[in-house]
């Protein structure tokens, strides 16, 4: 006899939650996932009928800052997600099992829930030298990724490492660190970039997957539109200063004290898609710009290579640190002006005869090909 | 100079395109540079008291739309305009044009750049080298339009910019798009310097009325030998 897995509601009842508490929780989840109030019913229905989703969470080339951010998400609190919504069968940093036991748990979950489990990946995968730069249990990260991805229902790439390579993929990228979407095809992949991503954004993404059983609406770079459709700049509370041309010129000036726009000291807000300006960090306490430092664009691809962080234009590759396109442009412009000056002088010397014709009023103009 | 005759070269739409384009490029380069590296004086006061940087951006975006449609208009005229405005002036395909073009490019380089004493250049409208160069500018126009509207799409609900939104993921994000959009601004600066100089140079050396041709449309060419 096969046992039907319990739905989230049944599971909650077993644990002594009341109907009111359950609906409250659903409303909360809906808000976190950016779902409007009229659709709360759908969320309730989904959790009444759906079983808890098996989840495996991998850690490859990463610093665990995504996990740290996730376990600090405040709405909905991570305990609720971890315990009530998903069945976290494998995660190196949080599980009690280790060694062979851990591997066994992973394989059991992958075989039992073939095609059903949700795969969360933190970190990039090195591909240089056969992938030796990241091995777990004697196998390369790439091996593990490909095997686990084959049976996954959907994959979530946590953070900039998994979405675009982050610091280990910065020039010269010695280990060939590669983001997940370049190694796996044929599976829905959601990129949740950021270093780390905002905890609530991570929670919201999972909630959407769990309640609707399908991936949220994504943009051209595979990011959930609910959180990545606007630039930090568009939701920045300092934006009026930008529009008024009020800029901080250096971090210790009067303008910095007044809270002017950090654009000229290198803020990447105008080129960075994230929800920092709206959701903020640490339960809505603050975010970099609010703390007086420009955005470094941590959720954008290649942000490490687009430095220096404290100037607006990036350094131009191949021309030395802090050489911007403008420096090169000025040099090329000056060279052009010099070339023009030389050309103008030379013209008057070389074409002297031709030009003198003008001073001979009745003289016939020399025709083409004639010796002058 | 009696053996010169005048020829109507640049039709009104071409002249109009030229000056609208010149104006737009100037405005776009100046405002674009201000956006990329704000250098105008600090006005002061509180944020609600002025909208200076907002206006700079507004002018940039408005000029961009004018520039774009002006560019489209020129492309259209490349198919219906006179011989000198036609597309094959820029893309010399068919009927031995490519060979003639290559030969004339060599001539132009010798006469205009290396300042060789002589050889006359056949073309009445654009010379061969100019044709190729202008085609390159069209490619840059296209690139600036794609990247510009691509960045603009994120803050607009308008249909037109949305058509270009795909360029951002293709180039790997807004930062790269912005960087290259800025780099190609310098192309316009250098192009304008060389372009204006060469027009003066040709007018001075050849006396065929190149400068005024873009105002009235007429150039002077030698009468064919009887």
B26 touches chain A (CB under 8 A): no
Question: Rounded to an integer, what is the distance from CA B45 to the centroid of its chain?
Answer: 40
What mean pLDDT is predicted for residues B42-70? 89
Residues 6+ apart with CB under 8 A from B61: B152
pLDDT band for position A82 (cuts 50, 70, 90): low
Q: Does A337 touch chain B (CB under 8 A)?
A: yes
Task: Report the Cα B175 to chain-centroid distance in Å.
Answer: 25
pLDDT at A79: 64
Helix and strand totals (H; E) in chain B: 8, 2
Tell me if B206 sits within 8 A of A368, measured CB to CB.
Answer: no
Stretch A304-322: mean pLDDT, rounded? 75
A-B Cβ pairs (cutoff 8 Å, strict): 146
Residue A368: what pLDDT? Answer: 47
Which helix H or strand E contains A59, and what residues bound it?
strand A53-59
CA-closest candidate to residue B54, choices B34, B28, B69: B34
Residue B36: name the closest of A261, A326, A317, A295 by CA.
A326
Asked whether the bond before B129 is cis by omega within 30 degrees of 0, the reply is no
pLDDT of residue A136 exceeding 60: yes
DSSP string spanning A15-33? TT--HHHHHHHHHHHHHHT
Residue A333: which of B120, B178, B193 has the nearest Cβ? B193
Contact A246 B43 (CB under 8 A): yes
CA distance B214 to chain A (A): 22
Which of B38, B182, B194 lies at the smallest CB-CB distance from A245?
B38
Task: Tell me the C-alpha distance between B175 and B98, whole Å.
Answer: 39
Which of A313, A344, A372 comes nearest B117 by C-beta?
A372
**What are the distances in angstroms from CA B176 to CA A286, A307, B82, B142?**
28, 12, 40, 17
Shortest CA gap B173–chain A (Å): 7
Q: How would residue A363 be classed by pLDDT, with cut points 50, 70 and 90?
A: very low
Nearest to A347 among B45, B115, B189 (CB): B115
Tell me, what's the pLDDT at B24?
Answer: 96
B102 to chain A, minimum CA–CA distance in Å?
A: 20
What is the rounded distance in angstroms from the CA atom of residue B155 to the CA atom of residue B149?
10
Asked if A153 has any chain B CB less than 8 Å from its own CB, the reply is no
Residues of A within 8 A of B154 (CB-CB) are 230-231, 234, 273
Mean pLDDT to the nearest integer, B189-205: 91
A49 within 8 A of A108, measured Cβ to Cβ: no
pLDDT at A91: 85
Own/partner long-range contacts of A15-21 (Cβ < 8 Å, ≥24 apart): A15/A84
Is the confidence at residue A146, as pLDDT, over 60? yes
CB of A297 within 8 Å of any CB in chain B? yes
Q: Does B203 touch chain A (CB under 8 A)?
A: no
Q: What is the dihedral of CA B189, B194, B197, B198, to 10 degrees?
A: -150
Identify the CA nearest to B12 among candidates B88, B81, B83: B81
Give pLDDT tens digits for A154-177.
999 999 999 999 999 998 999 999
Task: Looking at the complex, report in whole angstroms how far the Cα of residue A169 sits from the nearest Cα belonging to chain B.
Answer: 14
Q: Residues of A with CB below 8 A from B42's CB?
A: 245-247, 255
Query: Which DSSP letter does residue A350 get?
Result: H
The answer to whether the beta carbons of residues A248 and A293 sit under 8 Å apart is no
Gap between the Cα atoms of A202 and B110, Å rounded: 64
Identity of the highest mean pLDDT range in A11-25, A254-268, A304-318: A254-268
Least confident among A324-338, B21-35, B87-101, B171-185: B87-101
Q: Give the separation between CA B89 and CA A339, rounded to whole angstroms.
A: 27
Residue A113 Cα to chain centre, angstroms: 29
B156: nearest CA partner in chain A: A230
Percent of chain A with pLDDT strictly greater than 90: 41
Do A59 and A134 meet the contact criterion of CB atoms below 8 Å apart? Answer: no
C-beta separation of B111 from B141 below 8 A: no
What pLDDT is stored for residue A352 in this prediction? Answer: 75
- Tell me the per-residue pLDDT of A194-222, one tens digit each, with 9 for 90 and over: 999 998 888 888 888 887 888 899 988 89
Quote the pLDDT of residue B174.
Answer: 87
Q: Which helix (H) or strand (E) holds A120?
A: strand A118-122
CB of B114 within 8 Å of any CB in chain A?
A: no
In B, residues 148-177, which contact A (CB 8 Å cutoff)? 154-155, 165-166, 168-169, 172-176
For residue A370, pLDDT beyond 50: no
Per-residue pLDDT at B225 exceeds 70: no
Reduced to 3 states (helix: H, G, I; strand: E, B; else coil), residue A184 is coil
Between CA A73 and CA A192 the distance in angstroms is 15
Which one is the CATH code of B4-222: 1.10.1760.20, 3.40.50.300, 1.20.950.20, 3.90.1200.10?
Answer: 1.20.950.20
pLDDT (mean) for B16-33: 95
Mean pLDDT of B80-92: 85
Measured CA to CA, the distance from residue A342 to residue A345 in angstroms comes to 5
Residue B77 has pLDDT above 90, yes or no: yes
Token readout for A94 is 């949080």
Q: Which residue has the higher pLDDT, A207 or A289?
A: A289
pLDDT of residue A342: 87
- Across the interface, of B48, B175, B205, the residue whose CB is closest to A240 is B48
Integer CA distances (angstroms), A365 to A260, A354, A356, B201, in order: 67, 9, 10, 18
CB of A332 within 8 Å of any CB in chain B?
A: yes
Indicate the range of A120-129, B106-115, B200-209 predicted with least confidence. Answer: B106-115
Give me the residue from B38, B51, B189 closest to A329, CB to CB.
B189
The Cα A288–Cα A236 span in angstroms is 11
Evaluate the CA torsion angle B207, B210, B215, B221 in order and state its sign.
Answer: positive
CA distance B105 to chain A (A): 17
Q: What is the pLDDT of chain A when averaged over all its residues? A: 85
Q: Whose CA is closest to A63, among A162, A190, A200?
A: A162
Residue A239 in this model has a pLDDT that exceeds 90:
yes
Q: Which residues of A touch B43 (CB under 8 A)?
A: 244-246
H or E segment and range at residue A157: strand A154-158
Q: With contacts defined as CB-CB under 8 Å, which chain A residues touch B119?
A: 368-369
Confidence of residue A183 (pLDDT cuts 50, 70, 90): very high
Residue found under tokens 């000291």? A265
Question: Above 0.90 for ipTM, yes or no?
Answer: no
- pLDDT (average), residues A86-113: 87
How confident is the model at residue A371, as a pLDDT?
42
A372 pLDDT more than 70: no
């Amino acid at each position: 006899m096969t046992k039907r897995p319990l739905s989230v509601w049944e599971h909650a009842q077993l644990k002594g939650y009341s109907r009111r508490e359950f609906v409250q929780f659903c409303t909360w989840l809906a808000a976190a996932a950016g779902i409007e109030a009229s659709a709360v019913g759908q969320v309730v229905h989904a959790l009444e009928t759906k079983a808890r989703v098996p989840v495996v969470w991998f850690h490859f080339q990463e610093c665990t800052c995504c996990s740290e951010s996730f376990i600090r998400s405040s709405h909905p609190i991570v305990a609720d997600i971890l315990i009530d919504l998903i069945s976290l069968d494998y995660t190196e940093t949080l599980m009690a099992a280790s060694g062979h036991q851990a591997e066994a748990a992973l394989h059991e979950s992958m075989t039992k829930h073939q095609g059903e489990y949700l795969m969360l990946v933190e970190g990039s995968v090195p591909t240089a030298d056969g992938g030796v730069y990241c091995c777990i249990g004697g196998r390369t990260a790439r091996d593990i990724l490909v095997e686990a991805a084959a049976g996954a229902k959907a994959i979530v790439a946590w953070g900039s490492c998994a979405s675009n390579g982050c610091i280990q993929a910065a020039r010269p990228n010695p280990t060939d660190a590669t983001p997940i979407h370049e190694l796996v095809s044929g599976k829905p992949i959601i990129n949740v970039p950021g270093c780390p991503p905002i905890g609530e954004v991570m929670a919201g993404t999972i909630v959407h997957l769990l309640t609707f059983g399908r991936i949220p609406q994504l943009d051209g770079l595979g990011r959930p539109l609910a959180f990545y459709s606007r630039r930090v700049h568009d939701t920045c509370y300092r934006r009026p200063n930008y529009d008024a041309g009020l800029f901080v010129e250096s971090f210790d000036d009067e303008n910095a004290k007044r809270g002017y726009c950090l654009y000229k000291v290198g803020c990447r807000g105008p080129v960075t898609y994230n929800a920092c300006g709206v959701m903020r960090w640490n339960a809505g306490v603050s975010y970099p710009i609010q703390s007086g430092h420009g955005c470094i664009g941590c959720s954008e691809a290649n942000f490490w290579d687009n430095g220096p962080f404290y100037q607006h234009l990036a350094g131009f590759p191949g021309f030395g640190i802090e050489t911007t396109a403008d420096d090169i442009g000025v040099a090329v412009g000056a060279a052009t002006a010099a070339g023009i000056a030389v050309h103008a002088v030379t013209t008057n010397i070389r074409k002297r005869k031709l030009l003198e014709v003008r001073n001979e009023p009745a003289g016939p103009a020399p025709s083409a090909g004639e010796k002058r | 100079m009696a053996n010169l005759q005048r020829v109507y070269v640049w039709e009104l739409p071409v002249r109009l395109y030229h000056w609208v384009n010149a104006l737009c490029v100037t405005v776009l380069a100046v405002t674009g540079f201000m956006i990329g590296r704000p250098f105008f004086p600090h006005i002061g006061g509180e944020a609600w008291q002025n909208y200076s940087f907002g206006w700079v951006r507004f002018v940039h975006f408005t000029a961009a739309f004018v520039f774009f449609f002006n560019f489209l208009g020129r492309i259209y005229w490349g198919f219906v305009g006179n011989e000198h405005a036609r597309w094959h002036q820029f893309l010399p395909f068919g009927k031995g044009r490519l060979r003639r073009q290559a030969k004339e490019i060599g001539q132009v380089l010798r006469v205009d750049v290396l300042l060789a004493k002589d050889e006359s250049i056949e073309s009445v409208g654009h010379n061969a080298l100019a044709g190729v160069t202008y085609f390159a500018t069209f490619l840059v126009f296209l690139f600036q339009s794609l990247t510009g509207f691509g960045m603009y799409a994120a803050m607009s609900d308008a249909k037109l910019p949305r058509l270009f939104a795909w360029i951002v993921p293709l180039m790997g994000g807004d930062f790269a798009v912005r960087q290259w959009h800025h780099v190609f601004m310098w192309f316009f600066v250098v192009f304008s310097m060389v372009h204006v100089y060469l027009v003066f140079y040709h007018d001075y050396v050849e006396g065929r009325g190149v400068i005024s041709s873009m105002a009235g449309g007429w150039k002077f060419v030698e009468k064919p030998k009887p």
